[in-house]
């Protein structure tokens, strides 16, 4: 399964353009601040509509401007992990994890709650509220929620940025295990060269475009 992305979008005076393939493994998207990395993830996820282009995964078209195909975000089956976790504050960890799982069609639920909990080592957090979690714990839960939603690929936008530097290694280990054991395409935005060196199996540089 591989992601194929070819998108273009004008945002104010800025043009965001990207063309790349992201196969199973971890593709790091890098580029200067403001070049459009988050916008590219949002276009893949169905949160931002490209002006032109096409997004497909495993041959399944998610967006095609010419064919007027634009699958809504909840039908794309992608797990999106944001910089700040964005857990639902009114739900305990267990309910956060199960949120997308319950909405996913049964045939797409390829990991169970028990498998995800044991994979991520978060059993002791299940009855906790998001408010009391550390940055690293919250990111594990956010990753678990993404996996449980039946995702066929993961989009991670600077997932270590709000984590204490001393704890980043642990989350990187989790991401490496996902990369090496689950066989999903992962598209990962980071500014940090050390993080990219450790995690990337492929690199894509987003470069500035002009109008």
Report the interface residues with ligand ATP, using CB under 6 A. 11-12, 14, 16, 31, 33-39
**Whole-number minimum distance, CB 14 to ligand ATP, in Å?**
4
| Measured distance CA(211)–CA(198) in Å, rounded | 35
H helices present in 104-155, as ranges: 113-120, 135-148
**Whole-number minimum distance, CB 69 to ligand ATP, in Å?**
23
**Whole-number minimum distance, CB 132 to ligand ATP, in Å?**
28
Q: Is the Cβ of residue 25 or residue 31 nearer to ligand ATP in the bound state? A: 31
**CA 31 to mean position of chain CA atoms:** 17
Q: Is the Cβ of residue 37 or residue 77 nearer to ligand ATP in the bound state? A: 37
**Whole-number minimum distance, CB 65 to ligand ATP, in Å?**
18
Task: Report the relative pairing of strands 185-189 and 60-64 from DSSP bridges.
Answer: unpaired
Structure tokens at 80: 């999106």
User: CA gyration radius for the chain?
Assistant: 17
Cβ density class 73-83: b for 16+ within 10 Å, e for less = eeebbbbbbbb
**Whole-number minimum distance, CB 159 to ligand ATP, in Å?**
13
Q: Is the Cβ of residue 42 or residue 96 nearer to ligand ATP in the bound state? A: 42
Q: Is the Cβ of residue 45 or residue 97 nearer to ligand ATP in the bound state? A: 45
3-state secondary structure of 11: strand
Q: Is the Cβ of residue 26 or residue 147 nearer to ligand ATP in the bound state? A: 26
The conformation of residue 128, written as its DSSP 8-state character, comes to S
């Amino acid at each position: 399964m591989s992601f194929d992305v070819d998108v273009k979008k004008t945002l104010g005076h800025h043009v965001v353009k990207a063309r790349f393939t992201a196969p199973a493994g971890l593709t790091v998207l890098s580029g200067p601040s403001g070049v459009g990395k988050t916008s590219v993830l949002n276009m893949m996820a169905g949160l931002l509509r490209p002006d032109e282009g096409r997004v497909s995964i495993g041959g399944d078209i998610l967006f095609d401007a010419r064919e007027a195909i634009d699958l809504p975000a909840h039908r794309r089956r992608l797990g999106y992990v944001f910089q700040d976790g964005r857990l639902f504050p009114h739900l305990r960890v267990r309910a956060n994890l199960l949120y997308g799982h319950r909405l996913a069609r049964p045939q797409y639920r390829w990991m169970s709650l028990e498998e995800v909990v044991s994979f991520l080592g978060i059993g002791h957090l299940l009855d906790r509220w998001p408010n009391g979690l550390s940055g690293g714990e919250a990111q594990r839960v956010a990753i678990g929620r993404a996996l449980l939603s039946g995702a066929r690929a993961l989009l991670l936008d600077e997932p270590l940025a709000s984590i204490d530097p001393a704890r980043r290694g642990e989350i990187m280990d989790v991401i490496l295990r996902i990369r090496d054991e689950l066989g999903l395409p992962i598209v990962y935005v980071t500014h940090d060269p050390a993080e990219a060196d450790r995690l990337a199996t492929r690199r894509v540089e987003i470069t500035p475009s002009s109008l």
